[in-house]
Amino acid sequence: MPAPRPSQPRLARSPRAALAHLRAADPAMERAIAAVGKFALPEREATLHLLCASVIGQSISVKAAEKIVGRFSERVGDPTRLTPTKLLATSEAELQALGLTRGKACALHGLGELWRRERWTSAKLDRLPDEEIAGKLVAVKGIGPWTAKMFLIFGLRRPDVLPFEDLGLREGLRVIHGLEQRPTPEETKRLAAPWAPWSTVGTVYVWCFLMKLKGETLAGEHGWW
C-alpha cells in the first residue's frame, strides 16, 4: 500500500516571513502593507459548499451572492455537511429557482459529480498539489481558473496562488505601482512574479488595500494574527 502523500503547505497564522519577503522583493508592496497592517482572512474549511458558493458568486455583486448562497444553504442544509448526493438530488431547475443561472446550476452538478468521483474530503484535498486540484476543477464545465484559485486561497489557504485574472488584484496593482491603466493579466504575472513563494499573501494584501480605499473590508472574525 503506497504511503500517503504529505499535506501541502498552508499559510501560517503569522506569515512574518512572507511580509519580509514581499517588502524586499517588491518595494511597491510596502504601500499596501503599511496601509492595511494586520488583517484577518476568514477561516473556512475546504468543503463542497464553499466551492459551490464560489461558483454562485461569480460575476455578481457581493450582496446578490450572499442572498443566493443563503437560499442555497436553506435548500441543501448545513453547509459543513453538504454531500454530493444531497447536491445532486437538488435538480438544476430547483437551483435555478434559487436565483442561479442555468450555467451555474449545471456547474454545481458537475462539481457534485467530481467530488463524488474523486471522493474528496478536506483531509484528502490537503494532500493534493495545487495543480492537480485546479486541473480537475477547470475540467468541469462552467468552472474557470479564477474559481479554482479562490478555492485554493480561501478553502485550502495555499501560500503561492496568483489569480492574475482577478480584476481587483489588477486594479490594486495599478494603484500601488502608480500606473495609468490597469495591467493586463500577462503584465500582472510579471509585476507579481517577485512575490513567489508568497503570492497568496501579496494578493490578499493588494485586495485589502483596494477595499480599504473604498471603505470596505475583507476581514473576518479569525485570521493569521
Q: Please give the helix or strand (H or E) that residue 18 lies within, else none.
A: helix 16-25
Furthest CA-CA distance within the chain: 57
Rounded to whole angstroms, what are the CA distances from 39 to 16, 34, 207?
13, 11, 11
Q: Please give the helix or strand (H or E) that residue 92 lies within, else none.
A: helix 92-97
Catalytic residues: 166
DSSP labels, 45-75: ---HHHHHHHHHTTTS-HHHHHHHHHHHHHH
Please compute Rg for the chain using Cα positions. Answer: 18
Distance CA 166, CA 152 (A): 14
Could you tell me the three cell numbers for 117? 468521483
Could you tell me the three cell numbers for 77? 442544509
Distance CA 6, CA 83 (A): 25
